[in-house]
Structure 1
Amino acid sequence: MTETREVRIKRMKMRSMRRGIKEMDLILSAYADRNLDAMDTAGLDQFDALLHENDQDLYQWVTGQAQPPEGFVHLVADIAQTFQQ
């Protein structure tokens, strides 16, 4: 059975707030709440892929301590901007 857009967004929002380290819970859940509903399918695909990455790596990427992989550069920059607000 194929996941509907609504169910997919709910799943990703839940996954964003249950990361494993509190910092990423706060950062990703805030970003998800603000942006997922307006994303197109490609954006949702990219965010879904990002959710499979390690929290320690994600935190370093978002805080600028390490460079994210090429495929995530723009998304991580957008998340970092949300985090800094």
Structure 2
Amino acid sequence: MRSMRRGIKEMDIILSRFAAEALGAMDARALDAYEALLEQNDQDLYQWVTGQAAPPGDFDAIVGEIRASVDAGR
């Protein structure tokens, strides 16, 4: 639910699609990383996912997965 009700419509779309595709296959560590990512504000998330800004190192892997998901959906 937290992936779908972000506040910025673009992040609602990006994260809800990613969650639908990826959450079922995530292990506990990946789920923890995704949960921590969801704590970040949407403006930062959007810039990280679109490549406008580099994510902090802790989020490199999960943001990379989300970017790949977005690129695959285009």
Match of 2:22 among 35, 55, 62: 35
- Structure 2 counterpart of 1:79, one-letter code: I
Question: How far is the alpha carbon of 1:41 from its aligned partner?
Answer: 0.4
CA distance in 2, matches of 1:78, 1:40: 14
C-alpha distance in 2, partners of 1:41/1:47? 10
Shift of 1:40: 0.5
Q: What RMSD, in angstroms, separates the aligned Cα atoms of the two structures?
A: 0.5
List 4+ stretches of structure 1 deviating above 2 A.
none
Q: Unpaired segments of 5 or more residues in structure 1?
A: 1-13
In structure 1, give the amino acid aligned to 2:71.
Q
Structure 2: gaps of 5 or more residues = none
- Larger RCO of the pair (alpha carbons < 8 Å, separation 6+): 2
Question: Normalised by the size of structure 1, how large is the TM-score?
Answer: 0.83
**How many pairs does the alignment contain?**
72
Q: Which residue of 2 aligns with 1:83?
A: 70
| Larger radius of gyration between Structure 1 and Structure 2 | 1
